[in-house]
Amino acid sequence: MKTLTVSALVCAMIALTGAAALSEGMPENDQSAESHLVKREAYCSEGWTEFNGRCFYYNPRPMTWAKAERNCLSLGGNLASVHNILEYQEIQKIIVSVSHQYKSTWIGGSDAQEENKWFWSDGTLFSYMNWCAGEPNNSGDQGCLQMNSGAGKCGDDIQCSYERPSVCVKRV
């Protein structure tokens, strides 16, 4: 038993000595080991798709905008914000991969709190949206944002009480 313990200690010392020797050969500002760890953490949970440092999840179950947002919150995120055309197209790909069609789908835009003051429910700046022609038009109390509307598969403001599938987002 003593021999086994001594052998284990010798192996541990050899491993630690080798690790110390490797780190001595690296420059002090070399963070390759740290960035390797960051890369591992960057993967999204099962069912989520990583794009541009964020994880997206398509929920095909129709619900109101508020219920969809609460559902996303329960999953650790918010309804998806969109910051450029590439993100919009990636979200479309996620929707099509699950539903096999361009379903009208809730994302996190809303002006329900103040007319014509659009915000993303995840708190990011509302500086981009792929609006359909003539939208947002606020016709008939339309305060929530759906994507993939009409032939243009673009953004449209509609009533928040309508039921739609949804896309959630969370940071990696």
Other C-beta atoms within 10 Å of 6: how many?
10
Letter for the amino acid at 95? I
Per-residue pLDDT band at 17 (split at 50, 70, 90): very low
Give the pTM.
0.74
pLDDT tens across 149-161, in order?
A: 999 999 999 999 9
CATH number at residue 111: 3.10.100.10
pLDDT tens across 115-162, in order?
A: 889 999 999 999 999 999 999 987 778 999 999 999 999 999 999 999
Residue labelled with tokens 């103040």: 114
In whole angstroms, give the CA distance from residue 118 to residue 143: 9
% of the chain surpassing 90 pLDDT: 67
- Amino acid 59: pLDDT: 97
- Structural domain of 167: 42-171
29 found inside a domain:
no
Please check the confidence at residue 102 and state whether its pLDDT lies above 60: yes
Across the range 81-91, mean pLDDT stands at: 97
2 found inside a domain:
no
Mean pLDDT score of the chain:
82
25 found inside a domain:
no
For residue 32, CA distances in Å to 35, 38, 52, 121, 152 come to 5, 10, 21, 35, 45
Would you put residue 22 in left (φ > 0), alpha (ψ -120 to 50) or beta?
alpha
pLDDT tens across 44-83, in order?
A: 999 999 999 999 999 999 999 999 999 999 999 999 999 9
58 found inside a domain:
yes
Domain count, the chain: 1
66 found inside a domain:
yes
119 is written with which tokens? 């915000």
**β-sheet bridge partners, residue 58:** 167
92 found inside a domain:
yes
Helix (H) or strand (E) holding 144: strand 144-149
Across the range 103-113, mean pLDDT stands at: 95
77 found inside a domain:
yes
70 found inside a domain:
yes
